[in-house]
A and B are shown apart, each in its own frame.
Chain A
Amino acid sequence: MSTSPFDVCPYSLDCLVKLIAASSHQKPEDEVRNKSHTRYFDHYLNKLGVKTLLVERDYIDRDFLEDYAAYYVRCFPLYRKTCTRIHAFRQEITLEAVKAFLSGDETKIGLEELQTAYLGFIVVKPLPHTVIGRTCLTTYADNTTRHFPATRQFEANLFGIKLPVVKTLPFQEQDSVVAACATSALWTLFQSTAREFQHQLLTPIEITRAATHLLPTESRVIPNHGMSTHMMAHAIKSVNLEPFLIRVAEGKVLHAAIYSYVRARIPLILGIDLVEQTSGTQYDRMGKHAVAIVGYNLGGVPTPLSVSGLTLRSSRIDKIYVHDDQIGPFARMALDGKGVEVQFPGQPSRKYDSLSTSWSPDHGSGDVRAIPDILLVPLYHKVRLTWEWALKRVTEFNEALVQSSKIVPELKLLGLEWDVYVTTVNDVRDDLRKAPNIDASARFSAVTWPMPRFIWRATALRDDAPLIDLLFDATDIDTSHGLVQVIFHDALVRDFIKSIADVSPIDSLPFARSVKNILHWVKANL
């Protein structure tokens, strides 16, 4: 291994394997090559079009340093305290060009060229087996259906060169000592929520301690072999966020709940049961696993939530992107509607909704799938009203529109698609300011209307164009109507609803209370 503080090599799987093996604590190259992360990174880096790797030696990683101080420093083998950071670039870069740049000569390569070509980094920890540390790689290229709302811009600093990773969220593998899968998933969540809600950024060892220090435990927690939902909730509370637990065994609930929060840049913990195919539709349980959901793909066909015919944009989700500490960042899980037959201990065998995974089977060559169980949402304490509360109101209002369309079909209020999610007043205002189909005075009024910090926004879409926006106060009490504003993007629909509100005593109409509240608001304010 070179003694130079950095090195450069053209990208290849062999190069990646050699670098990881050399940076680990005596991990043989064969083991590195067969590691699921290496295979995943090779596929991912090729997809990103990586041409060059730059290796930064003796890199001090804050997360590993805390883990090192808490555990590894007192081990008998001499583990190094510094890591190796592997930077990825989408263009061919030579060692000479980088050396020249760092000597003040920008003729071979310039700052902008380096920054534009930068795709992120992988930290390799000096450990024997679980070596993948803090990893920030940019997402797959954008397209119209792939969305990564929970990603942000992070920045690497290489000998003073600021290298932005435009869209990412840090990932790392559990070390199975101070951190388990749930710790890694929580660590990813906190990387995002710390910026969104301004809280302390915890390292893996700090997360494990926060999750367990108030709980009576039958056994020691470090080395850590797994956290429960209860412990994860404690860790979330330790950074002054509120853990909100949702059971997602029902596929449509999973879609709607994921979208409601991830759309608002809040990554979620998904608790799953991994199952391995034994034959046909028969599967055996492998165990419980936790991943962090950071994005989704809206490539499916919209389908109604239930008999009510309420169609949610979330029903288009056909894949989610997760940071799975045993696979890699932005790993795909497809919601392909495939059911699996499993017998859990103490229960009869039955069929469950499941998702595809990138896992390899423990035994044989069968498929490994995930049965969704719980979602854990880390919320700012003021986001009090839930996705269920918001969707109930949207269902009631949509039913009123469906009834209207039976007698006034020319309004085309049947088959609307609803985009429902929690958001912030700043995001709502920024969006409304640019809404194309509202006249200037209505837009000014909507943008300057007094609103709370957190809002449930429900937008009815017709042919992908906004028709009506319902804004509810997410910080209110759940017995309140919570309505903040109604914004119409279509003058005819606005005038029709205003006429309904003006012509008849609202309380004499046979509608749900939430619909009457909307009519009262329209009558009073439009």
Chain B
Amino acid sequence: MTKPDRDNPREMAQRAIKWFKSAEGQKSIKESENRVEETAALLAKGREIDPAKLHEPFTV
């Protein structure tokens, strides 16, 4: 196996693409999609408005 060229972006890209399409890469990307979904669920909490609270006055 040839040593990776650390200054050759094209070689790096080919290495990365090969890995993305490998079984290991696919599994890793699937896990990554789950992590994205978890983050999206966290951010969506910002939309969980309780309509009843919209009419509570700020009185202090």
Q: In the complex, what residue of chain A is closest to B29 when comparing beta carbons?
A: A510
The answer, among B39, B47, B50, B60, for a CB contact under 8 Å with A310, is: B39
A286–B42 alpha-carbon span in the complex (Å): 29
Q: How far apart are B31's CB and chain A's nearest CB, in angstroms?
A: 9
B60→A252 contact, CB < 8 A: no
Q: Give CA–CA (A507, B53) in the complex, Å.
A: 45
Docked pose: A499 CA to B19 CA in angstroms: 15
5 A-B contacts, Cβ less than 8 Å apart? A253-B43, A308-B38, A388-B46, A492-B9, A499-B10
Is A161 at the interface (CB under 8 A from chain B)?
Answer: no
Check if A111 is an interface residue, CB within 8 A of chain B: no
Given A181-B60, A308-B39, verify A496-B45 contact (CB < 8 Å): no
Binds B, one of A24-32, A137-145, A392-400, A469-477: A392-400
Q: A287-B60, A410-B6, A411-B12 are in contact. Are A388 and B36 (CB under 8 A)?
A: no
Asked if A407 and B15 sit within 8 Å, CB to CB, the answer is yes
Q: How many chain-B residues does the 8 Å CB contact rule pick out? A: 42
A90 at the interface (CB under 8 A from B): no
User: Would B58 and A408 count as touching, CB distance under 8 A?
Assistant: no
A509 to B57, CA, bound (A): 52
Q: Report A247-275 CB contacts with B as 1/0, cut-off 8 Å.
A: 11110110011000000000000010010
Smallest CB–CB gap between B26 and chain A, Å?
Answer: 6
- A residues less than 8 Å from B26 (CB atoms): 510
| Chain A contact residue count (CB 8 A cutoff) | 64
Complex alpha-carbon distance, A512 and B29, angstroms: 10
Which chain A residues border B19 with CB–CB below 8 Å?
406-407
Chain A residues near B33: list those with CB within 8 A. 399, 512
Rounded to whole Å, the gap between the CB of A211 and the closest CB of chain B is 11
Residues of A within 8 A of B36 (CB): 308, 392, 395-396, 399, 512
Whole-angstrom distance from the CB of A353 to the nearest CB of chain B?
A: 12
Cβ-neighbour of A249 out of B17, B29, B45, B58 (below 8 A): B45
Other than the known A247-B45, A247-B46, A308-B32, what 18 A-B pairs have Cβ atoms closer than 8 Å? A180-B59, A182-B58, A226-B59, A246-B47, A257-B46, A306-B35, A307-B39, A374-B49, A387-B43, A388-B44, A392-B36, A396-B36, A399-B32, A407-B19, A407-B25, A499-B9, A499-B12, A500-B17
CB of A453 closer than 8 Å to a CB of B: no
Min CB gap A174→B, angstroms:
10
With A247-B45, A247-B47, A247-B49 known to touch, is A504 a contact of B39 (CB < 8 Å)? Answer: no
Whether a CB of chain A sits under 8 angstroms from the CB of B1 is: no
Assess whether B20 is in contact with A510, with CB atoms less than 8 Å apart.
yes
Q: Does A22 contact B (CB under 8 A)?
A: no
A231 to chain B, nearest CB (A): 8
On B, residues with C-beta under 8 Å from A are 4, 6-7, 9-10, 12-17, 19-21, 25-26, 28-29, 32-33, 35-36, 38-40, 42-50, 53-60
B13 touches A225 (CB 8 A): no
Residues of A within 8 A of B29 (CB): 403, 510-511
Assembled-state Cα–Cα distance A250/B48 (Å): 11
Q: Is A228 an interface residue (CB 8 A)?
A: yes
Beta-carbon contact of A288 and B9 below 8 Å? no
Does A309 lie at the interface of the complex (its beta carbon under 8 Å from any beta carbon of B)?
Answer: yes
- Contact residues of A between 481 and 512, Cβ < 8 Å to B: 492, 495-500, 502-504, 509-512
Select from chain A the residue with minimum beta-carbon distance to B14.
A503
Is there contact, CB below 8 Å, between A408 and B55?
A: no
A245 contacts partner chain B, Cβ-Cβ < 8 Å: yes
Cβ contact within 8 Å between B6 and A499: no
User: In the bound complex, what is the Cα–Cα distance between A226 and B58 (angstroms)?
Assistant: 5
**Are A228 and B56 closer than 8 Å at their CB atoms?**
yes
B residues within 8 A CB of A399? 32-33, 35-36
Q: B59 touching A288 by the CB < 8 A rule?
A: yes
Q: Are A503 and B58 in contact (CB under 8 A)?
A: no
Q: How far is the CA of A305 from the CA of B16 in the complex (A)?
A: 26
Residues of A within 8 A of B47 (CB): 246-247, 388
Docked-complex contact B58 and A326, CB < 8 angstroms? no
Shortest C-beta distance, A478 to chain B (Å), equals: 13
With a cutoff of 8 Å between Cβ atoms, the chain A residues found around residue B32 in the complex are 308, 399, 402-403
Contact B9 A306 (CB under 8 A): no
Nearest CB in chain B: distance from A74 CB, A:
25
- Specify which chain A residues have a CB less than 8 angstroms from the CB of B57 in the assembled complex: 180, 225-228, 288
In Å, the complex CA distance between A404 and B25 comes to 10
Closest 4 CB pairs of A and B: A499-B13, A226-B57, A495-B9, A226-B59
Residues of A within 8 Å of B17, CB to CB, are 500, 503-504, 509
Chain A hits for B58, CB < 8 A: 180-182, 226-228, 271, 287-290
B35 to chain A, nearest CB (A): 4
In the complex formed, the residue of B with least CB distance to A310 is B39
For the complex, what is the distance from the CA of A290 to the CA of B17, rounded to whole Å? 52
A288 to B54, CA, bound (A): 12
Residues of B within 8 A of A396 (CB): 36
**Do B20 and A309 touch (CB < 8 A)?**
no
The answer to whether the Cβ of A229 comes within 8 Å of any Cβ in the partner chain is yes
A395 and B55 within 8 A (CB): no
Chain A residues with Cβ under 8 A from B54's Cβ? 228-230
